[in-house]
Chains A and B, each alone.
Chain A
């Protein structure tokens, strides 16, 4: 029973364009959400988070949007850079449930 779902296993975008990664959840008790970035042969690293009392959080090129009524969050990366190519996981608290990840490829 996957309570956090990332339905797109992969995404490819051109350098300089926007990358939008999506995440859906089913448990209405989740109240804090995080995005992690993972390069091959490394552990995940924290990217950005959002509390359920907000609908947007921004940090440089990264913005996370939360739509509580739709149980949906998205990560926007603008502009995308080749170094952003990685697997992105969304996660939800309090149970720390992760989605399956989306592999982002940014082409030069």
Chain B
């Protein structure tokens, strides 16, 4: 199993550009989520999905779109990048949404918006 994979590992964008951060998992997990990590802030939940076709907003959803057409993939879209979106982005998955369900994180995508 590859676990949770994220591409790209690093990306530089100009303000206003769009891009999609890819996330895939091969563990047949129902629950997937996106976080951003900023200095002094910990990880903050952007969007999450409890299954294919179902998504919902987290703590900081503005400026980001998601979709979940398959169980395996959960892409995060930035439609018009802003410098405030410079961050490290982590995707995570877990078998379900119960408290005891361990989340597995991908290695992260480091995004710089100029």
Give me the interface of A with B, judged by CB distance under 8 Å: 2, 4, 6, 9, 31-32, 36, 41-46, 49, 51, 89, 91, 93-101
Contact = CB atoms under 8 A, between A and B. Distances in A.
A41 B107 contact: yes
Contact of A41 (B43, B44, B108): B108
Given A43-B4, A44-B105, A51-B99, A99 B42 contact: yes
Contact of B42 (A42, A46, A101): A101
A2 B41 CA distance: 8
B59 A95 contact: yes
12 contacts: A4-B42, A43-B4, A43-B105, A43-B108, A46-B104, A49-B99, A89-B42, A93-B99, A96-B45, A98-B43, A99-B42, A101-B42
Given A46-B102, A51-B99, 18 more contacts: A2-B42, A4-B42, A31-B99, A41-B107, A41-B108, A42-B107, A42-B108, A43-B4, A43-B90, A43-B105, A43-B106, A44-B43, A45-B105, A96-B33, A96-B45, A98-B35, A98-B44, A101-B42
Contacts of A98: 35, 42-44
B105 A49 contact: no
Contact of A46 (B41, B90, B103): B103
B53 interface: no
Interface of B: 4, 33, 35, 40-45, 58-59, 90, 92, 99-100, 102-108
A44 B90 contact: yes
Nearest to A9: B40
Contacts of A32: 99
Contacts of B33: 96
Nearest to B110: A41
Contact of B59 (A9, A36, A97): A97
A21 B61 CA distance: 30
A45 B3 CA distance: 12
